[in-house]
């Protein structure tokens, strides 16, 4: 290598900064709360020849690390094959086709070619979650869809911007097939402007260090990421490590889906074999190949966060056995639960397989659901239709050192729930409750974090509620003797009467009138280690804070309390008898 370490580090940080600035610009300029407030988006830089990831914003969704790499690679291949028009400076392609490297239809990707001295140097790409892309239900989360057409408008790669100018005809076609179309122009312009900002940032970086130096740095960073990942893999005990994770149901047939995983270390590579997982399902809980691969990548990023984000980090990770299963969905299988739900079950399977091998690095299972809740209807006070999308947090799993984080973001992203005040201002709803779900974490030496308990009331007009969630039947898995976290719970009140969906956390087209309510209790994380090994004083503190009762302290953790104090002798005797 001819580059000195300081220059290499500065260029690496410069590439990261370009992506971070794109992320920030995208969120600041977007109209939709799911992007502007929840940050359900990501921006990155990709290789001109194979679409390999060069850099991604630290504030972008991890699940998009692999999917945008895959979709950029597919776009390059389609251009080379003459299936898509060749790019020109200023062009921006739009695509949301899940089978071409995507997730679900609401995740819309833009890709812009970046040129130096008249030659294509790399691609700038981003993904944003649009609140609606048409389909059978507002928000796109059709719990009972049996084909992708029922989920919304599917876009192959087309040039939405041609040499910097929006193609109004293509845009009109898109707007004619989605709800609240008049609001999309804000998101479209924000998404395009973020790529423009990225191009300007790359210009400054390249001008400062020179094209050859930056090119050499990118190649070196990719090689180093692969080397570093292999060094960590070498520390995993030899042999095969197995696990099983379950999806509650596919939303149509009320039976669990299995994710079977065997992880084998092969010298300094890891083989992830999903042979034996469930067949493709009828409902929307299928995963496309790109999302399945990305789910494995992001799980390993959780385990080895020291490895920098680069395509090189994924090279030692080999995925097999997904062909013919619901983890490799082909057209026209529905996929709305792909990115936000199935991806998290895949990550959970990776954690469960490796927690025994890497107990100091791997946690018990997190909540593992994004809590996709969509509400669409008409607001008579404003004289217009609306589509509201709510995602929510849950508990993280306990780990070797600490309890799990409460109300953390999903495993696959950094998206946060939009502020209650913003949602009440934008939509005709009232949040009657928004609190931690005390006691929902699985018991353990380090307990799981707590989920969220919120309740939304429709204030006026008429609306339809739909949700595609998970972990309603099986709570997040505990690890090394820890208990599972609490399951997801959804209750709908219509005219004062409670209703629980057949599929527990999946349902669509539930009619709501003013005063009707939806209450969601998200899962807590799994517990880590034997609950009877938990520090009794930590249990006493949780009881003092109202997280558990005295009876629960005794039953779950074997701790006997006298008022606010731990009865040391009684606790020791009770724990001894319990073991």
211-233 and 184-209 helices, crossing angle to 10°: 100
Residue among 429, 430, 428, 449 at smallest CA distance from 439: 449
Percent of the chain with pLDDT over 90: 93
pLDDT at residue 34 is higher than 60 = yes
Q: What is the pLDDT of residues 36-52, one digit of tens each?
A: 999 999 999 999 999 99
Range in 60-69, 191-200, 205-214, 499-508 the model is least confident about: 60-69
- CB contact at 8 A, 139 and 148: no
State pTM to two decimals: 0.96
pLDDT at 340: 85
pLDDT at 579: 64
Q: Across the chain, what does the average pLDDT equal? A: 95
- CB contact at 8 A, 360 and 400: yes
Tokens, residue 418: 């939009």
Tokens, residue 383: 């004289």
Q: Confidence class of residue 418 from pLDDT cuts 50, 70 and 90? A: confident
pLDDT at residue 452 is higher than 80 = yes
Tokens, residue 543: 């009881």
Tokens, residue 489: 């719970």
Task: Give the DSSP letter string of 234-277.
Answer: TTSPSSEEEEEEEES--SSS-S-EEEEEEEEEETTEEEEE-TTP
- DSSP count for the chain of H helices, then E strands: 12, 22
Q: Where are the domains of the chain?
A: 5-226, 363-534, 536-578
Q: What is the pLDDT of residues 192-236, one digit of tens each?
A: 999 999 999 999 999 999 999 999 999 999 999 999 999 999 999
pLDDT at 1: 56
**Residues 317-328, mean pLDDT to the nearest whole number:** 98
Secondary structure class of 494 (helix, strand, coil): strand
- CB contact at 8 A, 293 and 62: no
Range in 69-83, 364-378, 401-415, 439-453 the model is least confident about: 401-415
Distance of alpha carbon 86 from the chain centroid: 32
Task: Write down the residue that tokens 């911007």 correspond to.
Answer: 161
Taking 3-state DSSP, the helix, strand and coil percentages for the chain, each rounded to the nearest 5, stand at 30, 25, 45
Percent of the chain with pLDDT over 70: 100
């Amino acid at each position: 290598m001819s580059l000195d370490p300081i220059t290499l580090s500065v260029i690496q940080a410069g590439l990261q900064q370009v992506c971070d600035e794109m992320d920030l610009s995208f969120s600041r300029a977007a109209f939709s709360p799911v992007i502007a407030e929840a940050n359900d988006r990501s921006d990155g830089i990709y290789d001109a020849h194979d679409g390999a990831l060069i850099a991604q914003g630290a504030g972008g969704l991890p699940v998009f690390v692999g999917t945008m790499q895959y979709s950029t690679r597919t776009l390059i291949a389609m251009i080379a094959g003459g299936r898509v028009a060749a790019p020109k400076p200023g062009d921006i392609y739009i695509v949301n086709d899940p089978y071409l490297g995507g997730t679900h239809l609401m995740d819309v990707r833009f890709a812009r070619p970046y040129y130096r001295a008249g030659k294509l140097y790399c691609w700038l790409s981003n993904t944003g979650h649009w609140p609606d892309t048409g389909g059978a239900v507002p928000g796109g989360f059709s719990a009972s869809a049996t084909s992708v057409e029922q989920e919304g408008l599917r876009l192959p790669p087309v040039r939405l911007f041609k040499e910097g100018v929006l193609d109004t005809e293509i845009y009109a076609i898109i707007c004619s097939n989605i709800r609240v179309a008049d609001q999309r122009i804000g998101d479209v312009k924000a998404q395009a402007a973020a790529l423009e900002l990225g191009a300007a940032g790359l210009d400054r970086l390249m001008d400062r260090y020179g094209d050859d130096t930056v090119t050499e740095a990118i190649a070196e960073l990719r090689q180093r990421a692969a080397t570093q990942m292999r060094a960590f893999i070498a520390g995993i005990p030899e042999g095969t490590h197995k696990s099983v994770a379950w999806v509650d149901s596919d939303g149509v047939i009320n039976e669990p889906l299995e994710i079977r995983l065997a992880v084998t270390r092969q010298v300094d590579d890891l083989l992830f074999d999903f042979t034996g997982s469930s067949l493709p399902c009828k409902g929307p809980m299928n995963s496309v190949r790109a999302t399945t691969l990305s789910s494995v990548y992001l799980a390993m990023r959780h385990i080895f966060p020291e490895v920098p984000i680069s395509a090189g980090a994924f090279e030692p990770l080999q995925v097999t056995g997904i062909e013919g299963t619901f983890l490799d969905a082909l057209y026209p299988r529905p996929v709305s639960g792909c990115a936000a739900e199935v991806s998290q079950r895949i990550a959970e399977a990776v954690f469960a397989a490796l927690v025994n091998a890497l107990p100091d690095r791997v946690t018990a299972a997190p909540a593992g659901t994004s809590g996709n809740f969509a509400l669409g209807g008409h607001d008579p006070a404003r004289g217009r239709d609306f589509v509201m999308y709510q995602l929510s947090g849950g508990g993280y799993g306990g780990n070797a050192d600490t309890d799990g984080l409460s109300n953390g973001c999903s495993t696959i992203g950094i998206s946060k729930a939009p502020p209650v005040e913003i949602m009440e201002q934008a939509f005709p709803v009232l949040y009657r409750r928004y609190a931690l779900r005390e006691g929902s974490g699985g018991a353990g030496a380090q307990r799981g974090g707590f989920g969220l308990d919120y309740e939304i009331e429709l204030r006026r007009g008429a609306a339809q509620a739909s949700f595609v969630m998970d972990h309603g039947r099986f709570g997040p898995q505990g690890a090394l003797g820890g208990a599972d976290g609490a399951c997801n719970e959804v209750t709908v009140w219509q005219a004062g009467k409670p209703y629980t969906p057949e599929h527990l956390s999946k349902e669509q087209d539930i009619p709501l009138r003013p005063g009707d309510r939806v209450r969601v209790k998200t899962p807590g994380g799994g517990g880590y280690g034997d609950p009877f090994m938990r520090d009794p004083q930590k249990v006493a503190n949780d009881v003092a804070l109202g997280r558990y009762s005295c009876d629960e302290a005794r039953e779950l953790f074997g701790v006997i309390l006298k008022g606010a104090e731990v009865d040391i002798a009684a606790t020791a005797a009770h724990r001894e008898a319990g073991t």
